[in-house]
Structure 1
Amino acid sequence: MTTRPHRNFYGRIKGKTLKDSQRTYLAEDLADLSPGPVSWDDNPERTPLDLDALFDGKPVWLEVGFGGGEHMVHQAAQNPDVGIIGAEPYINGVAMLLGKIRRAAVTNLAVHPGDARDLMDVLPSASIARAFLLYPDPWPKARHHRRRFVTPEHLAPLARVMKPGAMLRVATDIPDYVRQTLEEVPKQGFDWTGETAADWRIPWDDWLSTRYEQKALREGRTPHYLTFVRRG
């Protein structure tokens, strides 16, 4: 049996009281959208998930921290030939995503309502064709920077599960998060594709602006769009 690592978790798990409809989504829909046995209690041996069976052999994308789920559902609707797994520990965000899935009637999604590190434990090596890290928690205080996703604790397992040539997209409105991302992501086997200012100032062609980005724009902060490619 694999030894469970000690992992601190600093983010929110739950916020405001859920609406009746959101509790219904969680009760009726969440179990059927599970990517498989992810938790340590259900999968103590950390047996890799069978992604071919989950998505009928489709390429698999991963969204880490999907927030309210609008981008994830948008990508699923635009790319029916792809399977997308999202990880989000904030149960209010999970409930919002489930409502959006119902309304959009997309079927190529799987949802892990928990820590992305546990999910990455059980994703097969070189199995993810694209990953998204969109407006992650900035942890603005210097003493909290080690909690950011763009640290070796998170990036090393992410690199393990991504295919050679796979794309990693990072969006953030925090300049210091940009700095840390550009410092740390290449160390884990990724190349930044940016060559001109337009490459990080202009969003991707298939981008859907999230509620977090809209808040940043209202408050006068500038979004940055960083694209990396996993080295072979």
Structure 2
Amino acid sequence: MTDHPPMRSFGRIKSRPIKPRQAALMDTLLPRIRIPDGTIELSALAPGAAEVWLEIGFGGGEHMAAQAARRPDVLILGAEPFLNGVASALRHLDERGLENVRLHAGDVRELLSRLPDASLARIFILFPDPWPKARHHKRRLIQADLLAELARVLAPGGRLRFASDWADYVDWTLERALRTPGLSWTAQRADDFRRPPADHVTTRYEEKRLGDCAPVFLDFVKA
């Protein structure tokens, strides 16, 4: 397992006041489902889970909660530094009564550094901040070192899904992922990346179409 310094989070950690109900869940539910510090024993987090998935930057938690509801046999880890997003996700988990999600309210690289090799079956990175200005590209989540870490924690046959509605970020990600040892792009034809995958869950953020192109979905598999 490789040690990495924590990656600086360039996004907003908190913007608007957290609603009272969500604030209460931050005090009650989050401590119960927070991923503990130190070495992570995945079997202890969810004994009997068929697989372990990770969503990086889960936003408001809609996609994560929907996937967890579909697959109660899977343990889903979620990482998000934006506290309003964490609070929103807690509401979704509480309303659905989901017990198979564990959260890291912080930078995902700190979490990745504590995960065992080949421990994840799926990773989702959906519509991350594109940082479209060239001088800000160094702030993008997708970088060579992060992709190397994702390849390390993916099990053979495991899948990484990246989605964006910014054309330059799609090209940026594809270029770097194809240079990452162990990752292979699964697309065989244009519809494989132009159409949402069958198991995709559309969120309110995605529906806003804030980017400069239609959503693109890149799926990679670990060799």
What TM bracket, shorter-length normalisation? over 0.9
Taking structure 1 as reference, are residues 4 and 184 closer, same or farther at Cα in structure 2, changes over 3 Å only? closer
Matches within 5 A, 1:1-232: 5=5, 7-37=7-37, 43=38, 48-58=39-49, 59-188=51-180, 189-216=182-209, 221-231=213-223
The Cα offsets for residues 86-108 of structure 1, whole Å up to 9 and x where unpaired, read as: 00000000000000001111110
CA shift, 1:145, in A, is: 1.1
AA aligned to 1:196 is R
Partner Cα separation in structure 1 for residue 64 and residue 82 of structure 2: 15
Is the Cα contact below 8 Å between 2:127 and 2:165 reproduced in 1? yes
CA shift, 1:57, in A, is: 3.6
Taking structure 1 as reference, are residues 3 and 180 closer, same or farther at Cα in structure 2, changes over 3 Å only? closer
Query: Is 186-195 or 132-141 further displaced after alignment?
Result: 186-195
Is the Cα contact below 8 Å between 1:149 and 1:155 reproduced in 2? no
Partner Cα separation in structure 2 for residue 184 and residue 57 of structure 1: 35
The Cα offsets for residues 31-87 of structure 1, whole Å up to 9 and x where unpaired, read as: 1011221xxxxx3xxxx3000111114210000000000000000000011100000
Taking structure 1 as reference, are residues 102 and 216 closer, same or farther at Cα in structure 2, changes over 3 Å only? same
Taking structure 1 as reference, are residues 4 and 79 closer, same or farther at Cα in structure 2, changes over 3 Å only? closer
% of aligned pairs identical? 47
CA shift, 1:5, in A, is: 2.4
Partner Cα separation in structure 2 for residue 65 and residue 93 of structure 1: 9
AA aligned to 2:47 is D
3-state SS of 2:209 partner:
helix
Partner Cα separation in structure 2 for residue 147 and residue 31 of structure 1: 30
3-state SS of 1:137 partner:
coil
Partner Cα separation in structure 2 for residue 34 and residue 8 of structure 1: 21
The Cα offsets for residues 119-174 of structure 1, whole Å up to 9 and x where unpaired, read as: 00111111000000000110101111122122113212111111111010111000
Please report the TM-score for the alignment, with normalisation by the length of structure 1.
0.90
Structure 1 residue runs of 4 or more that deviate by more than 3 Å after TM superposition:
none
